[in-house]
Amino acid sequence: MQSWKYALSLGLLSAALAVPSFAQEAETAPAAEASAIAEAASPEGSFVDEYGTSFTFSLCGESGTDLCGVLTNLEGESATEENLAFVGKQVMQAPQTAPNEWKGSLTAGGISADATVTQTGPDTIDIQGCRAAILCQTLTYTRM
């Protein structure tokens, strides 16, 4: 169970949902306008979840469109000695599959989870982590 929580918190890389103010505003804005706002934003930067776990994302890869994630801080139950060894390390590289969406895997300590990263606004990123294709969880990260 600890391994599963760790894999998801690493990007979800995983744990609870936070409702960012942008998402609430987007519900009242026309879909095209919300899409344009998200497209104009960059996924590059540091993002944190409600528990204090954070990642720094950058565009990477040969094409410069992959999204790489470095775990910068790990909080909560997942902050075990074993898991803290991955702080400061790149744990994800995901190719872009659609505007504002990247799909790849999160790998750390022999644990791997499929990850879908979706930029939902200029300052929010949702990360859905799945293991065995059916055990999925989504976390919202906000720009720091």
Q: Is the pTM for the entire model greater than 0.75?
A: no
Helix axes 31-40, 21-28, angle to 10 degrees: 140
Residue 30: what pLDDT?
47
Domains (ranges, CATH) in the chain? 2-143 (2.40.128)
Residue 81: what pLDDT?
87
pLDDT of the chain along its 144 residues, tens only? Answer: 344 344 444 333 333 222 222 333 334 444 554 455 445 689 999 999 999 999 999 999 999 999 999 999 998 887 888 889 999 999 999 999 999 999 999 887 777 889 999 999 999 999 999 887 778 999 999 999
CB atoms within 10 A of CB 133: 7
Residue 112: what pLDDT?
84
Residue 111: what pLDDT?
78
Residue 35: what pLDDT?
53
Residue 40: what pLDDT?
62
Residue 3: exposed, middle, or buried by beta-carbon count in 10 A (0-12, 13-18, 19+)?
middle
Residue 125: what pLDDT?
97
